[in-house]
């Protein structure tokens, strides 16, 4: 009960800050829109290749959604470092509030922003020729939620550990780049050689994908929540 209440309080505060300065939500949405308009047409002839696995936009839009989940959530730790510097986190740690809520309230805001952006992108892609059913939208949104949650909590955990933007930026990039390439975001992994497909778990079922994302999210949540609670000198 306490966790729920405190999570909501932190969520409201974080959301308020985002809504007072919504430029980041818009910037986060601009990037996939650029890809949609300026890169999507390039893919149309490539989609004829054997092994591409479907029409250009049906392959490309899910990749853009995953990209948004990764990109949008991996850098949220920077905001936390600012809050650490202001002393806001320490102030909250002296109150009896739930430590898990400090994490989940913030990550909840990140997920809310992500799902809003994803909805916008899916709606904009339909005129380009995206064919999608409601059930597959729900499945992919569940997957996005788990990916976003895992990334955001990883970012928060690292921010608490490093406490400096200068150290956080290169480390996040080092984590982010291989994940992005292995996600098959740029070109489908079905075009890749066997060893690369194996590392990227290409060809596995949606259930396996969701299970892996859920596992990673659970892992990063418990790690980052502990970091919030632990004494930091």
Residues in the site for another protein, rule: CB under 8 A?
Answer: 6, 9, 13, 16-17, 20-21, 83, 86-88, 90-97, 231-233
- For another protein, which is the closer residue by CB, 134 or 233? 233
Provide the minimum distance between the beta carbon of 90 and another protein in the complex, in angstroms, as a whole number.
Answer: 6
Interatomic CA distance for residues 148 and 68, integer angstroms: 9
Q: Quote the longest CA-to-CA distance of the chain.
A: 60
Interatomic CA distance for residues 69 and 118, integer angstroms: 8
Interatomic CA distance for residues 161 and 154, integer angstroms: 11
Please choose, from the candidates 4, 168, 213, 181, the residue with its C-alpha nearest in 3D space to the C-alpha of residue 74: 168
Provide the minimum distance between the beta carbon of 4 and another protein in the complex, in angstroms, as a whole number.
Answer: 13
Please choose, from the candidates 169, 200, 172, the residue with its C-alpha nearest in 3D space to the C-alpha of residue 184: 200
> What length is written for the chain?
233
Provide the minimum distance between the beta carbon of 43 and another protein in the complex, in angstroms, as a whole number.
Answer: 41
- For another protein, which is the closer residue by CB, 1 or 42? 1
- For another protein, which is the closer residue by CB, 94 or 207? 94
- For another protein, which is the closer residue by CB, 14 or 67? 14
Provide the minimum distance between the beta carbon of 5 and another protein in the complex, in angstroms, as a whole number.
Answer: 8
- For another protein, which is the closer residue by CB, 90 or 165? 90
Provide the minimum distance between the beta carbon of 84 and another protein in the complex, in angstroms, as a whole number.
Answer: 11
Interatomic CA distance for residues 33 and 26, integer angstroms: 10
- For another protein, which is the closer residue by CB, 7 or 125? 7
Provide the minimum distance between the beta carbon of 11 and another protein in the complex, in angstroms, as a whole number.
Answer: 12
Interatomic CA distance for residues 112 and 105, integer angstroms: 11
- Tell me the two tokens of residue 110: 């990140």
Provide the minimum distance between the beta carbon of 225 and another protein in the complex, in angstroms, as a whole number.
Answer: 15
Interatomic CA distance for residues 188 and 191, integer angstroms: 6
- Tell me the two tokens of residue 136: 């597959």
- Tell me the two tokens of residue 186: 């740029």
CA distance to 53, 72, 192, per residue, from 165 (Å): 40, 17, 35
Which residue has 């659970």 as its token pair? 218
- For another protein, which is the closer residue by CB, 93 or 197? 93
């Amino acid at each position: 009960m306490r966790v729920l209440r405190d999570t909501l309080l932190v969520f409201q505060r974080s959301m308020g800050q985002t809504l007072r300065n919504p430029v980041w939500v818009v910037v986060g949405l601009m990037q996939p829109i650029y890809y949609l308009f300026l890169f999507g047409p390039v893919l149309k002839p490539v989609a004829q290749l054997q092994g591409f696995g479907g029409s250009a936009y049906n392959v490309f839009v899910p990749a853009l959604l995953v990209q948004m989940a990764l990109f949008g959530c991996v850098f949220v730790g920077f905001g936390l470092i600012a809050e650490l510097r202001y002393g806001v986190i320490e102030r909250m740690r002296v109150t009896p509030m739930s430590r898990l809520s400090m994490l989940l309230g913030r990550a909840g805001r990140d997920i809310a922003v992500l799902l809003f952006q994803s909805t916008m992108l899916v709606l904009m892609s339909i005129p380009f020729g995206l064919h999608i059913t409601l059930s597959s939208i729900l499945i992919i949104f569940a997957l996005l939620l788990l990916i976003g949650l895992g990334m955001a909590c990883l970012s928060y955990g690292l921010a608490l550990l490093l406490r400096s933007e200068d150290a956080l930026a290169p480390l996040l990039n080092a984590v982010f780049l291989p994940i992005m390439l292995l996600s098959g975001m740029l070109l489908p992994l079905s075009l890749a050689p066997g060893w690369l497909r194996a590392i990227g778990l290409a060809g596995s079922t949606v259930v396996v994908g969701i299970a892996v994302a859920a596992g990673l999210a659970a892992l990063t949540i418990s790690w980052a929540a502990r970091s919030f609670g632990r004494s930091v000198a």
